Amino acid sequence: MKLIYERSQEGRRASSLPANSLPVPDIPDELRRDQPPRLPEISEPELVRHFTHISTRTFGVDTGFYPLGSCTMKHNPRVNERVVNLPGFRDLHPLQEEDGAQGALEVMWRLQEILAEVAGLPAVSLQPAAGSQGELTGLMLMRAYFADRGEADARTKIVIPDTAHGTNPASVTMAGYEVTPVQTDPRGNIDVDDLRGKVDEHTAGLMLTNPSTLGLFDENIEEITQIFHGAGALMYYDGANLNAVCGISRPGDMGFDIVHFNLHKTFSQPHGGGGPGGGPIAVREHLEPFLPVPAVVRDGDAFRFDFDRPKTIGKVRGYYGPFGVFVRSYAYIRAYGPALREMSEVAVLNANYLLARLKKAFELPFDRLCMHEFVLSARPLKREHGITALDVAKRLMDYDFHPPTVYFPLIVPEALMIEPTETEAKETLDEFVDAMLEIVRDAAERPELLKEAPHDRPVGRVDEVKAAKRAVVRYLFEDHPDLSEETGQARQLEAQKGA
Ligand SMILES: Cc1ncc(COP(=O)(O)O)c(C=O)c1O
């Protein structure tokens, strides 16, 4: 399809405004443009058609099943949009004085209370804007805590399992710590024997996703906690997979000291390019003094910001955090009320249903009941027919399904990581299984069909690495890069999530 610049015709306009009689402001010469900006010139019908057409070429959770493992792409209830668009929330200025923002402050305070209960930890900061920023904030808290005890120089290492999401080691490095990797055992748990040799007086803490990115709950979590707490280190819980355990088990009860939430996943928000995230953290009492400021506190019937935390690490985000995300999450949680655990129970049930129907057709590296997601391997298809996880993922698009996460976690070859979430009906899950089984049959009988997939999408098989690393965002502009020499290079490079 043509770009809007290719549709542009000189002098064409979408609307014409009456001439105005306002004085022309006096703009200093050095601030004036030499040339008018290059903007598309287009009529209104063509403009409307152009963007409407683009909107039909995209895929989202509103157009189809989106089992992107570890990303929790659940339905975003429309009532949440109604609530967040109430004028009292929507039109509120971040600098509104507290007296005029009591409702908003109350929502934030109530959300803090709920998250504390879900985490099993007493103190919450809503500030971080994404899971990864929650991670960095949590590690900065660890640093502040050890500095306060005079141990900052001694404790330099953070232990991370080999199943970890890529943001974990990235956050550790950004926070000035060193990564100590630990292996996974044959049941998909942290290898406790490997761990013992790696935790000592230089360890600041552990970062763990539980259930892990394999969709497995660590069976030795209490022993792991003892090892870290016994060495005076802290436990960090990556809450990206909290959708599996809400209202059932609590990170605080497992021994974790710091938890981040991915509000945009667990409590639904348009995300993945569609909207902002939220990464609040919850901590144990001894870490509360270091939390970012301000916290929202309650004085009788009134709510206010509390900046009075002399040991705070400061602010990690402008103003008070992603407020719209708070309102939607609060609405999602309140819609379940005390039955919040049903959300996780159905998410786990849906995942186990898919796993039971699919496991014989693929390889299952860790044969256990899963939590809210599971990881299959397409290795047998590769061995027998030369079909990779990428081919399976691309072919799924022809069936109107978003592909699962592929090639992650890194320890599973040809990984397909599938997360259905609780908002999918059994019929949808069955249609997905039927498509997967047909793809497995086609891998044996018509492998070229998979190799060239997708066939029915607006964009065919692309070189994903090049598309990400050499994105041409100024197509046909004067500084459009010359990519002619790069054409013809290998097309099938795989972009790895978490790599
Ligand atoms: C296990 C895990 N940890 C951390 C993150 C980072 O979260 P965010 O994307 O909100 O920064 C993700 C995101 O996919 C994840 O899957």
Do the bridges between strand 234-239 and strand 203-209 make them parallel or antiparallel, or are there none, so unpaired? parallel
Distance between CA 157 and CA 199 in Å, rounded? 9
pLDDT the model gives residue 275: 74
Q: How far is the CA of 150 from the centre of ligand 1 (A)?
A: 32
pLDDT at 274: 63
Query: Does the pLDDT value for residue 497 go beyond 60?
Result: no
By DSSP bridging, strand 178-182 and strand 157-161 are parallel
Return the residue whose CA atom lies nearest to atom 9 of ligand 1. 131
Check residue 242 and give its pLDDT: 97
Kindly report the number of other CB atoms within 10 A of residue 342's CB atom. Answer: 15
Q: Where is average pLDDT lowest: 152-166, 299-313, 428-442, 468-482?
A: 468-482
Confidence grade of residue 231 (pLDDT, cut at 50, 70, 90) = very high
Q: How many angstroms separate the alpha carbon of residue 21 from the centre of ligand 1?
A: 53
Return the amino acid letter for 216.
Answer: L
Query: 473: pLDDT confidence band, cut at 50, 70 and 90?
Result: confident
18 alpha carbon to ligand 1 midpoint, in Å? 50
- From 112, 46, 127, 61, select the one nearest 293 (Cα to Cα): 127
Span from the CA of 460 to the centroid of ligand 1 (angstroms): 28
Distance CA 240, CA 371 (A): 13
Question: Quick one: which of 320, 326, 282 has its CA closest to 98?
Answer: 320
* Band (150; pLDDT cuts 50, 70, 90): very high
Q: Which of 266, 304, 242, 377 is nearest to 108 (CA)?
A: 304
Say which amino acid occupies 464.
E
Atom of ligand 1 at shortest distance to CA of 164?
Answer: 1
Report pLDDT for 499. Answer: 33
Q: What's the burial of 142, exposed, middle or buried (CB within 10 Å: 0-12/13-18/19+)?
A: buried
**pLDDT tens per residue across span 404-431:** 999 999 999 999 999 999 999 999 999 9
DSSP E strands: which ranges in 153-292?
157-161, 178-182, 203-209, 234-239, 258-261, 281-283
Alpha-carbon distance of 46 to 54, in angstroms, equals: 12
Q: Select from 132, 237, 265 the residue to mutate for testing ligand 1; criterion: most ligand atoms less than 8 Å from CB.
A: 132
Residue 486 has what pLDDT? 63
User: What value, to the nearest 5°, has the Cα angle with vertex 87 and ends 85 and 90?
Assistant: 55
The pLDDT of 438-445, averaged and rounded, is 98
> Which atom, in ligand 1's list, is nearest to the CA of 213?
1
Cite the DSSP H helix spans in 57-101. 78-84, 87-90
Average pLDDT (219-244) is 98
Instruction: Tell me how far the alpha carbon of residue 143 lies from the centroid of ligand 1, in angstroms.
Output: 22
Residue 91: pLDDT over 60: yes
How far is ligand 1, taken at its centre, from the CA of residue 26, in Å?
A: 49
| Atom in ligand 1 nearest the alpha carbon of residue 133 | 11
Report which DSSP code applies to 101: G
* pLDDT at 475 (0 to 100): 80
Q: What is the per-residue pLDDT for 492?
A: 41
The pLDDT assigned to 485 comes to 67
Cα(165) to centroid(ligand 1), Å: 7
Instruction: Work out whether strand 281-283 and strand 258-261 pair parallel, antiparallel, or are unpaired.
Output: antiparallel
2-48 confidence digits (pLDDT tens): 999 999 999 999 988 899 999 989 999 999 999 888 899 999 999 99
Higher pLDDT, 111 or 477: 111
Q: Which of 165, 171, 236, 375 to probe ligand 1 with, by most ligand atoms within 8 A of CB? A: 165
Q: How far is the CA of 217 from the centre of ligand 1 (A)?
A: 17
Give the whole-angstrom CA distance, residue 265 versus residue 240.
7
Query: Whole-number mean pLDDT of the chain?
Result: 94
Tokens of 301: 């019937």
Q: How far is the CA of 237 from the centre of ligand 1 (A)?
A: 12
Residue 376: per-residue pLDDT: 98
Q: Which atom of ligand 1 is nearest to the CA of 70?
A: 16
Residue nearest to atom 13 of ligand 1 (CA): 71
Ligand 1 centre distance from Cα of residue 201 (Å): 29
Q: Ligand 1, atom 14: nearest CA belongs to which residue?
A: 71
User: How many A from CA of 167 to the centre of ligand 1?
Assistant: 7
Q: Across residues 202-215, what is the average pLDDT?
A: 98
- pLDDT level of residue 466 (50, 70, 90 thresholds): confident
pLDDT category of residue 164 using cuts at 50, 70 and 90:
very high
- Per-residue pLDDT of 288-324, as tens digits, reads 999 999 999 999 999 999 999 999 999 999 999 999 9
Quote the pLDDT of residue 496: 44
Which residue's alpha carbon is nearest to atom 7 within ligand 1?
Answer: 131
Quick check: 493 and 463 in contact, CB under 8 A? yes
Least confident of 42-56, 242-256, 336-350, 464-478: 464-478
Ligand 1 atom 12: residue of nearest CA: 240
Tokens of 435: 């498509």
Residues with CB under 6 A from ligand 1: 70-71, 130-132, 165, 167, 209, 213, 238, 240, 262, 277, 279
Of all protein residues, whose CA lies closest to atom 8 belonging to ligand 1? Answer: 131
* Residue of 71, 72, 167, 325 to test ligand 1 pocket, by largest number of atoms within 8 Å of CB: 167
- Number of helices (H), then strands (E), in the chain: 18, 12
Q: Whose CA is nearest to atom 16 of ligand 1?
A: 70
Which atom, in ligand 1's list, is nearest to the CA of 279?
A: 10
Nearest CA to ligand 1 atom 15: 240
Ligand 1 centroid – CA 373 distance (Å): 14
